A and B are shown apart, each in its own frame.
Chain A
Amino acid sequence: MNLFFLFLSYIIIAYMLLSSLSYIALFLLAFRKVYRESELDPRETTEDLAGNERTFPVSILVPAYNEEVGVVSTVRSLLALEYPEKEIVVIDDGSKDQTSARMIEEFQMTEIPFAVRTYLKTADIKGIYQSSIFPYIRLIKKENGGKADALNAGINLSSYPYFCAIDGDSILENDALLKTMKPIIESDGQIIVTGGSVRIANGSTISRSKVELINLPTNPIVIMQIIEYFRAFLIGRLALSRLNILLIVSGAFGVFHKERVIRAGGYNVKTVGEDMELVVRLHRLLREEKSKQRIEYIPDPVCWTEAPESLDVLRSQRIRWQRGLFETLWTHKKMIFNPSYGSVGLLSMPYFLFVELLGAVFELCGYFIIAGGFFFSLIDPKVAGILFLVTIFYGSLISALAVLLEELTLHKYPKVSHLVRLYGWALTETFWYRPFMIIWRVQGIIAAFRKKQHWGDMKRKGIST
């Protein structure tokens, strides 16, 4: 029995060391581009597009479920977006609160007949409304069908060749769309999806739907999520994007080529990880068609979102994310280790399987063996000690490194105290935050087998004043 645990310990140690090395390798891949572009004058790089008539018009889709607190400020922030031509489509997915009423009242909306193209099948549409003050703001009231279904309804109604999917509680920076559309425009259609970096808004001052002052929140749960974002975005996504094997474009903000998405069948309503599933499906189609089109991620923070402040809500969010990841990998299991899908099948899918999905299982076993080794002689305490050190390295030191690398490249948090606090909190990750995450991520895998679908039930305070 002890031999089994000893063997398991070695596997976990090897796993954690290899995963850590993969993180560092991924960062090194992304570092040059991020560092190179960090000194660019942001206004100069987008100013040409802002006044350019050839900048493709974009439909902004805002799926909303019980978003009465945030939906109006989100739409207001979208109105302020600097972009030559856009339309805003809010999709009320059968909310039980006053989401639609708030929209109708605030933007003086009236019901209109509309010949919707049903490219994608959705739950029944109850009505389509148009604002009389801003005719390019529309609202779809529909039966509840989930976020993916709401986005599909928005795609059906949208008029433009590109759509931008954002969460109902997101606040976009003024030049967010320009920055995100830039790679698409400059690639002459070779880039079909771009994802923008999402930042946590808690703690920062947002007034009139604009981020006025970037600050750190005081709640440690939120600080840890900021660190997590650094780790995921800076270390993971940028490098995967450079290799054209990025599998996640955050549901909080992404721009998609509409026709491509329609050809792929739209968002999958049967999964809670509809954003990732769609991107994987697009990759799959691109590879099957031997297309050279790309999916790209931009490092600049363009979208601000409210992070959960309580463990309860965070738990439900993480279970949902992990379940979505599992479902996506399961749906596209054919691609894993399949050379026909190139680097997506050979590198990216295995990375998400072993690091992002099964990582939690390995880590949970690791924590169990550490406790068993120290307190119940399950394994040699020396081996438990090594495992403990490696866990600290994998959990805390890599996150702390992510904080330092953010400062080295993007340095978006303005004060020295921000840097020191972020670094200090990152070091504590292994001892309290990570165990929670691991347990919830394992619960997410279990939830995937149960298949109960629902929107996230986050209680929003609203992030804009």
Chain B
Amino acid sequence: MTLYFFLALIMLLFLFQLVLLLYLTRRKKERQRYEEEIEQQYIHLTEPFSSYIMDPSDVRFLYAIRTISHKEVVLERLLNGYVAFTKGANISPLVKQLSEEFLTDLYSQILNQRNWAKRINALHYIEDFHMLSLSPMLLKKIIETHKLDAETQQLVRTLASLNETRVIAELQRFPAVPSRLYVDIFGRLQKESASKEIETALKGTDAALKHAALVFIGQSGALSFLPFVEQELENQQVETRIQALKTIFRLEYLSDPDLIEPFFESSHWTERMFAARIAGILQLSRYKKTLSTLLGDSVWWVRYSAAEAYTRFSDGDMLLAHLSENHPDRYGRDMAAQWRTYRSGGART
């Protein structure tokens, strides 16, 4: 009886698997056929598409796209390929126009569907194609949402890419918003809007927003904000001061070299490290002696940055050679010796 029970159970499971196998085999075949069809149509339309993008008077593509069965998918792939190729540097008005005409309805539907992956993909594509017409719908979505999950974060980025500044206020409804999200917003807004929002952020009290503004200034090299950044060097919060130092390092500019002097003797090693880096990147000769002191610092990173700073000076090689022999600290001598031949920096792609 029990043996037969187990036999029946195993047979049942095996049969279930066979049915599943058959279903998956069929699904795989159908998907392959579907992919082949799309691939065929894609290849067929690639040349007219390129031609249309180069010269909008060549309207063969506009006729052809209307005649194919998978027009949305094929167009999405063509536009995606084009945007990836141009790295979105200059969004062609034709990309906006084509996507608005053929994909607006599709994406409106998808955004209300239950399929999470499709919704996320649609948000990315709306951003890539700059589909402004969907902005009100997306804004409504973010107003209604109460959870800062992966989808909401992408929604925020997409809206920012459509130059919707209200996302910042909407984002501030959530507790503990990561600073990186604000940086993403600044990077996506149009230059004028971004500048306005950065100024507001620097004048405000929201630490995450202020840090994001400082990060973005450093990344984008927005020198016009330098006075604000230098002002933050006197901030009571260590994290904000460090962020301001980082930004100055990235900007490679400082209105008054005296401003970093107190940081060489800071009790926070990160501040000493950035002071050394700034002295190097700005080639502030007056701090050469101070750098020698930092070369014997108790923290490895400070010694490392001090020695690296010497390599920026025209006589850096000579100074490092001297220090590798004569620095009073053994670790300082080792570090100086390393930087005589060492080349820093990772692969930046």
Contact = CB atoms under 8 A, between A and B. Distances in A.
A407 B80 CA distance: 27
A424 B162 CA distance: 52
Nearest to A114: B338
B25 interface: yes
A420 B153 CA distance: 41
Contacts of A145: none
Contact of B338 (A37, A51, A112, A160): A112
A115 B215 CA distance: 31
Contact of A404 (B17, B32, B116, B347): B17
Contacts of B118: 39
A237 to B, nearest CB: 21
A54 B17 contact: no
A393 B12 CA distance: 11
B347 A86 contact: yes
B335 interface: yes
Given A44-B124, A423-B21, A135 B345 contact: yes
B73 to A, nearest CB: 12
Contacts of B2: 382, 386
Interface in B190-230: 215, 219
Interface string A37-69: 111110111011011011001010000000000
Interface residues of A, number: 58
A416 interface: yes
Interface string B67-87: 000000000000010001001
Interface in B1-32: 2-3, 6-7, 9-10, 13-14, 17, 20-21, 24-25, 28-29, 32
Contact of B24 (A136, A386, A392, A404): A404
A352 B323 CA distance: 55
Given A112-B338, A185-B180, A416-B29, A43 B349 contact: no
Interface string A372-398: 000000000010011001101100010
Interface string B324-349: 00000001001101101111111111
Contacts of B14: 397
A284 B224 CA distance: 49
Interface residues of B, number: 55
Given A112-B342, A113-B337, A43 B117 contact: no
A79 B10 contact: no
Given A117-B300, A393-B10, A404-B20, A39 B346 contact: no
B150 interface: yes
A350 B304 CA distance: 46
B282 interface: no
B346 A85 contact: yes
Given A37-B117, A38-B117, A185-B180, A136 B342 contact: no
A84 B233 CA distance: 29
B17 A400 contact: yes
Contacts of B342: 112-114, 130
A110 B323 CA distance: 23
Contacts of A85: 346-348
B28 A411 contact: yes
B9 to A, nearest CB: 8
A366 to B, nearest CB: 14
A83 interface: yes
Interface of B: 2-3, 6-7, 9-10, 13-14, 17, 20-21, 24-25, 28-29, 32, 80, 84, 87, 115-118, 120-121, 124-125, 128, 150, 153, 157, 178, 180, 183-184, 215, 219, 300, 303-304, 331, 334-335, 337-338, 340-349
